[in-house]
Amino acid sequence: MIQKSVIEILYLFSAFLFISGLKIIGTTKHSRKGNWISAIGMLLAIIGSLMDERVNNLSWIFSAIIVGSVLGILSARKVRMNSIPLMVSFLNGMGGASAATIGAFQYMNHPGFTYGAVVDNTSLAILLSIISGTMSFSGSVITFGKIKGWVTEKSVFYPLQKTLNVSLLFIIGGISLFILIREGVDSELVILLSILSFLYGFLLILPVKGNNIPVAISILNSMTGFSTLMIGFVFENLILIMGGIIVWSAGILLAFHMSKALNKPLSTVFFQTRETNKSLVKSERGLIAKEISLIDAAILIGYAKRIIVVPGYGFGVSQAQFVCQELDHLLTARGIEVYYAIHPIAGRMPGHMNVLLAEADIPYKRFLELEEANQQFSITDIALVIGANDIINPRAIKDKKSPLYGMPILDVSEAKNIIILKKGADSGYSGEENPIFFHEKSSVILGDAKHNLNHIVKEIIEN
């Protein structure tokens, strides 16, 4: 009885730390502290679970903990900050696969399936954990491939896309109901259910474009949280239930928050319309982007009084954050004000730009959210755009035919000058031509952002 009370107290503290950590992580200044608080909560949850009298085979459990911890620490130390979205997708996929695997083993041993007890809530929870966990795993595999470049980041279309997805859901539901009402264990049916769930997760994420990947990651996170919640019901484990609810609800809320930032329904993230690519350097109307030399860019930047940096996905790909830090220190030492405008969907995961800038020790107080940045561009000498495209595209607010229409943007056109660092002449992931590149205030520098920033820093120092 005392042992059970201790476990419940540990779970209570663990849940409190999870919620507190999640809240603190949401504040940029103390995000690292929030991460540690959540980690301590997880440690307490593990200790509480190991104290459960139903737990046996401790040698196997501790072996798995040691191996997993070593692999986790080594992976975390080797992964670069621009690869964090890859790690998030990988870990999320592993979480879903773990829940699905546990659910499958429980199916083979649960008495509810032997007697066909459709009213058995545990049986239903087992099947839901298999379905949601498998969907999360396959979806995370595709997300990983898109971020890595193994799978195209453009929308992938196939015939009868919506019809096939809806039909798959009905088939999955029908098979699940049949498993619940029939007597006996049928491993072949569960394998078929897992394959169809895997296929659904695959087809759901395949049409997602690169700029919508943060939304997809949030949805997949919520799926993993839901599968964990179901496993918690199976084992009557309070911390799994509470943790699953937190991850499930947080993932859904974050997905809706980001789809709101895109100003589009969540469904359109997964069901795209066809589009064509446009060139950056030469527009469809024959306009030519004005290019600027690194020396001239350095002179403009070096004599500015106020600069707002606008980082995008290309900022992370080129690992430009540390050179940006050098430039920041150089400019602030000259009395120049430097700020950073963060768009909610910039990068490939929620908070991607915040993570990169924090790694380079850029002061949090100089981070500007979208609305605040837009209010300050008009009093800014230079908007320095590094690897960003769609999030500064004015078509999002001016062209009703554009797939970007309705998405709030960082309105860099309000700044006195715009310097754009971009790797190549391609359009953004939306495939839309960006008029800002042909704006009279804009100057473009093509090439690797890190390399070009290095040259700009050297020119400012020398001149």
* Per-residue exposure over 95-126, b if at least 16 CB sit within 10 Å of its own CB, e if not: bbbbbbbbbbebbeebebbeeebeebebbbbb
Q: Residue 40: CB partners within 8 Å, gap ≥ 6?
A: 17
User: Which contacts qualify for 425-428: CB closer than 8 Å, 24 or more apart?
Assistant: 425/279, 425/280, 425/281, 426/277, 426/279, 426/280, 427/277, 427/278, 427/279, 427/280, 427/389, 428/211, 428/389, 428/390, 428/393
CA distance 162 to 158: 9
Q: Report which DSSP code applies to 151.
A: S
DSSP 173-219: HHHHHHHHHSSS--HHHHHHHHHHHHHHHHHHHTT--GGGHHHHHHH
Alpha-carbon distances, residue 141 vs 58, 144, 316, 376 (angstroms): 31, 5, 21, 40
Q: Residue 50: CB partners within 8 Å, gap ≥ 6?
A: 58, 61
Q: What is the largest CA-CA distance in the chain?
A: 83
Q: Is 188 exposed, middle or buried (0-12, 13-18, 19+ CB in 10 A)?
A: exposed
For 227, the token pair is 């599968």
CA distance 96 to 428: 31
Question: What backbone torsions phi and psi does residue 426 show, to the nearest 5 degrees?
Answer: -80, 160
Q: Which of 390, 399, 411, 426 is catalytic?
A: 390
Side by side, which strands form the sheet with 382-386?
A: 367-369, 337-342, 306-311, 382-386, 417-422, 442-446
Q: How many CB atoms lie within 10 A of CB 361?
A: 12
CA distance 95 to 217: 13
Q: How far is CA 403 from the centre of its chain?
A: 21
Angle at CA of residue 132, ends 35 and 151, nearest 5°: 80
390 is catalytic: yes
CA distance 307 to 310: 10
What 3-state class would DSSP assign to 402?
A: coil
- Hey, which residues are catalytic here? 390
